[in-house]
Structure 1
Amino acid sequence: MNAGPATIETSTAGGVRTLRIARPERLCAVDVPTMCDLIDGLQGAVDDPEVRCVVLTGTGRAFSAGADLRELAQPSPAPRAAELLATHDGLGGQAPGTRGKAVIIDVCNRFVLAITEAPVPVIAAVNGLVVGVGNAFALAGDLVLASSCATMSFGFSKIGLMPDGGATALAPARMGRGAVARMLYAHETLDAAEAMRVGWADEVVPAEEFDAVVAERAAELASGPTRAWAASKASLAAGLRPELLRAMQAEADGQVALAETDDHRGAARAFAAGEAPTFRGR
């Protein structure tokens, strides 16, 4: 795992492994070391016969503000990323990507696919803000629990980019194309109640009760028929997998190309300056 500052916090109780993104100062935006630790953390949970459910959550005000854009087109500083992407072994090993052009996309794809492949239920415990690829992390989960204070948006088009992490397959599968289009083209931000209404979330929990309800739901799954859960999950995933793999590859190709455009570069500068972006069009 990453030898630098902790990027995730891991705990286990009653057969439940919790993976918590621990970057509150960045609103739990993920960089390459964080993604490597999440992949390793999920693989470790699956390899532990005592773990029967996994909870993925964030810290502070955010579940995840998406990928750290500073790494979009940069070489990875994490040796662990090279090791992970050099092999197809383990969870998510068949995830398509950019062939090293944007390592952050490659490791995000691998993590999202790993969530769908894990033979134990994965609960996305959405404690707060979700932006960008954070949507894919949540929507890949088997059960999405949202705090009443959570909000969800794509945010990609504001900076001249497109959804990634398989979101263009995962979001329509849950929400339908119309709801996804509103989030994408109208820059719509969903509150927790609307997220549940359109299918983004499965349950909304009052913020003050969120941790207790997540623990209760996870305990219920961990005490259930683990083999039956695994077989059911594999059957559900089999129907989505071809479309998810196709979407990941199309997104990876598109995102790499978009990162080189004047639209993205100008929008990123405007975003950093707190200004409205302008786009040149076709």
Structure 2
Amino acid sequence: MSNFLKIEREGAVLTVTMDRPEDRNAITDPDQSAEFVALADNLARDRSVRAMVLTGAGKSFCAGGNVKSMRDKTGLFAGSPFDQRTHYRTTVQTIGKALWELEVPVVAAINGHAIGLGLDITLMCDVRVMAEDALVAESYVKLGIIPGGGGAWLLPRVVGLSNASRMTLTGETIDAATALRYGLASEVVPTAQVLPRAQELAHAIAANPGHATRMAKRMMREGMDQKLPTHLEMAAAYQALSHHTEDHVEAIDAFLAKRQPEFRDR
């Protein structure tokens, strides 16, 4: 493995850092994608983790694909068109699938540039805290290519079709104030506060029962493509499950006793 992801834990919250600052945390090595998939698989089994923060080391969140590797036709960009199709399907696209399907809530701490795939990764997160001097871009067309990791599907769902079209078709870079106006950023904070604020939000999420936040996230994700009757059937099933958890009983008892609950993920 490339050891691209540095993982730290505080209580029920993981902080995951893309740790290749010398390359602005660009993603080129297939092992980097495999680490994201392995992380998501582990979190699917570990119900003691209730929230995750994702950020980048150094001055960038993630610069997307490595442009020098594109030029040199190496790594993910080597081989015939059929080879490259396979590379995309088995590497960077697995990041999108893994993060999109992950039920653990994820807060992105956008500490710097999030370009191309880097921006797409932030869109797979649930909440985005952005540094006031950070910049983002869906800049694929400026390199003569198209969003290959899910950005054309994700971006319109986050910022609306008009804003997504402008960003995707011009490839322009937008600042934090614009990202906030578009609804891409949930909050904009001074650079030094971006990781602490993201962790604060993650701990606020983790203060709630893990089964409730995971199922609520799943409902929102599925609801984006469901009709209301189908969604309500899912809600009824999930609500019934929730009512039969020990954490639900503890939440009710704590509320009535005016004390802090102690959840055990049961």
2:205 maps to which of 221, 224, 231: 221
Alignment partner of 1:101: what SS? helix
1:130 is the counterpart of 2:128:
no
Structural mapping, 1:257-276, within 5 Å: none
- Normalized per residue, the structure richer in helix is 2
TM-fit CA distance, 1:72: 3.4
1:19 is the counterpart of 2:16:
yes
User: Contact (CA 8 Å) 2:108, 2:198: kept in 1 or not?
Assistant: no
- Gap regions ≥5 residues in structure 1: 76-97, 243-282
Structural mapping, 1:97-246, within 5 Å: 101-240=85-224
Q: How many residues matched?
A: 217
Residue in 1 aligned with 2:32? Answer: 34
TM-fit CA distance, 1:170: 0.9
CA distance in 2, matches of 1:145, 1:62: 14
Rate the CA distance shift 1:105–1:129 in 2: closer, same or farther, 3 A: farther
TM-fit CA distance, 1:100: 6.9
CA distance in 1, matches of 2:86, 2:60: 24
1:183-204 Cα shifts (integer Å, max 9, x gaps): 1222321111110100111111
Q: Match of 1:45, as an amino acid?
A: L
CA distance in 2, matches of 1:130, 1:158: 15
CA distance in 2, matches of 1:241, 1:101: 26
Q: Match of 2:207, as an amino acid?
A: S
User: Contact (CA 8 Å) 1:45, 1:54: kept in 2 or not?
Assistant: no
Alignment partner of 2:85: what SS? coil
**Larger CA Rg, structure 1 vs 2:** 2
User: Contact (CA 8 Å) 2:51, 2:206: kept in 1 or not?
Assistant: yes
C-alpha RMSD over aligned residues: 2.0
CA distance in 2, matches of 1:74, 1:241: 35
TM-fit CA distance, 1:105: 4.7
Q: Match of 1:232, as an amino acid?
A: A
TM-fit CA distance, 1:173: 0.6
User: Contact (CA 8 Å) 2:114, 2:136: kept in 1 or not?
Assistant: yes
User: Contact (CA 8 Å) 1:73, 1:102: kept in 2 or not?
Assistant: no
Identity %: 29
Rate the CA distance shift 1:182–1:101 in 2: closer, same or farther, 3 A: closer
Residue in 1 aligned with 2:78? Answer: 74
| Structure 1, 223-232 or 144-153: larger mean CA deviation | 223-232
TM-fit CA distance, 1:141: 0.7
TM-score using structure 2 length: 0.75
Rate the CA distance shift 1:234–1:134 in 2: closer, same or farther, 3 A: same
1:45 maps to which of 38, 43, 46: 43
User: Contact (CA 8 Å) 2:43, 2:104: kept in 1 or not?
Assistant: no
TM-fit CA distance, 1:121: 0.5
